[in-house]
Amino acid sequence: MQAKIDAFMEEVRARNAHEPEFLQAVQEVAETVIPYIASNEIYNGKNILLRMVEPERAIMFRVPWVDDKGEIHVNRGYRIQMNSAIGPYKGGLRFHPSVNLSILKFLAFEQVFKNSLTTLPMGGGKGGSDFDPKGKSDDEIMRFCHSFMSELFRHIGPNTDVPAGDIGVGTREIGYLFGKYRRMKNEFTGVLTGKGITWGGSLIRPEATGYGTVYFAQNMLETKGDSFKGKIVTVSGSGNVAQYATEKAVQLGAKVITLSDSSGYIYDKDGIDKEKLAFIMELKNERRGRINEYVDKYPSAVFHKGKTPWGEKCDIALPCATQNELNGDDAKTLIANGCVCVSEGANMPSTPEAIAAFHDAKIFFAPGKASNAGGVATSGLEMTQNSLRFNWTREEVDEKLKQIMNDIHKKCVQYGTDDNGYIDYVKGANIAGFVKVADAMLAQGVV
């Protein structure tokens, strides 16, 4: 079997030699899905996985914009339309200087499996730009978003491709993107999700990824009769996902002791309660400040410059910042300190070495494509509400989100339970996600 996986990866590597993040994401899927294909006659010999690693379309474009001083800048825009076998492409837009083809292809590839897992009819895509929103004025952000959409609009649509937010793209950016799309197309449609509540957005969408990550962890803990109550939790990041993961963990009775950004992390031994979280939200979302400012406000907390929070003793870890932020050594430290559960809010935050360590220690580990699927699932619910021209209440959306996370958990258990009873959530998510897309591809022929 290993020879088959190696031969497959050799072919993928030859075509995508300079795309390490993409190869990392494909390798993880290949290791669990290729053995499954080999033992299931209907998928054998159809080169399905090879077709799935090739984007249906990859669009790259120039994004020129003018700053407040009148200087002209040029960024690169992308949209990867990975797979639309089960529905229109769906996936976020990321604005961050690190964005390149490899990162967006890994995200788009993961998105295909994630969207399939939600049970909603959504294909997978991802896009963005190497534009850095940090330190830019509102006007600069608006001019950039308008320029970006003046090309992207011809490639998307409510039945074609429905982008959303991701790192660096929140409600403000979605607003500018939507405004430009609406003007250029002269139509008001649900072509983007994460919209403001008065113009087509869904209640609970901002909360959904973070809440879903915690709901999934709760589902895992419940398999052993455990819960969040009284647990110590470390969270990384301090953006959208981290904020709402913290909120839900605290609501469930846990104590969250860390948050971070790319400059370092804060440790608060007393826990980040509701009031402190409100400060973080105002700091990060309104003032667009840095995490170390938390320590000025709450002097009993400590700021650790340039470090990640994984050295702090905890029961549950929720990585919610970015890819490859938790390595093999971090994982070993977490395990040695008694951590029993890791639920990924970010996409691919754990390196392969970290995942191997979690599996060896037989602790609960949920890959992002399962545990952070609540965000895109609620985007799917936003699309449904847009089509119905009707809004569900906060409680109704939250209930549906919980149900979807429950269903994803069940599927992971169905496909991921090993002979010894350990649930390999990576295997479960990869195979469950694969089956639905592969069946659709088989039914539709070689297209």
Please report, as ranges, the residues that interact with ligand NDP according to CB under 6 A. Answer: 165-168, 209, 237-242, 261-263, 320-322, 325, 345-347, 372, 375
Cα end-to-end span (Å), the chain: 28
- Catalytic pick from 90, 105, 114, 126? 126
Distance CA 414, CA 310 (A): 30
Question: Which of residues 266 and 316 has its CB atom nearest to ligand NDP in the complex?
Answer: 266
Q: How far is the CB of 45 from ligand NDP (least distance, A)?
A: 34
Q: How far is the CB of 258 from ligand NDP (least distance, A)?
A: 12
Distance CA 92, CA 195 (A): 13
Q: Which residues contact 11 (CB under 8 A, 6 or more apart)?
A: 50
Distance CA 404, CA 212 (A): 9
Q: Which residues contact 54 (CB under 8 A, 6 or more apart)?
A: none
**DSSP-assigned letters across all residues of 371-424:** HTTHHHHHHHHHHHHHHHT----HHHHHHHHHHHHHHHHHHHHHHHB-TTS-B-
Q: How far is the CB of 167 from ligand NDP (least distance, A)?
A: 4
Distance CA 359, CA 342 (A): 11
Distance CA 325, CA 347 (A): 10
**Longest Cα pair distance anywhere in the chain, in angstroms?**
65
Question: Which of residues 138 and 418 has its CB atom nearest to ligand NDP in the complex?
Answer: 138
Based on the residue annotation, tell me whether 126 is a catalytic residue of this protein: yes
Q: How far is the CB of 169 from ligand NDP (least distance, A)?
A: 7
- Token digits for 59? 């669009």
Question: Which of residues 166 and 315 has its CB atom nearest to ligand NDP in the complex?
Answer: 166
Question: Which of residues 137 and 263 has its CB atom nearest to ligand NDP in the complex?
Answer: 263
Question: Which of residues 27 and 262 has its CB atom nearest to ligand NDP in the complex?
Answer: 262
Question: Which of residues 150 and 262 has its CB atom nearest to ligand NDP in the complex?
Answer: 262
Contact yes or no for 235/258 (Cβ under 8 A): yes
Q: For residue 80, what are the β-bridge partners?
A: 58, 126
* Segment (H or E) for 22: helix 20-38
Distance CA 411, CA 429 (A): 7
Return the residue nearest ligand NDP (CB atom): 239
DSSP annotation of 230: T
Question: Which of residues 218 and 379 has its CB atom nearest to ligand NDP in the complex?
Answer: 379
- Token digits for 132? 């850095």
Question: Which of residues 242 and 438 has its CB atom nearest to ligand NDP in the complex?
Answer: 242
Q: 10 Å Cβ neighbour count for 296?
A: 10
Distance CA 394, CA 202 (A): 8
Compute the C-alpha angle 72/74/77, nearest 5°.
145
- Token digits for 189? 């449609």
Identify residue 316 by its one-letter amino acid code.
Answer: I
Distance CA 284, CA 101 (A): 28
Question: Which residues are known catalytic residues?
Answer: 126
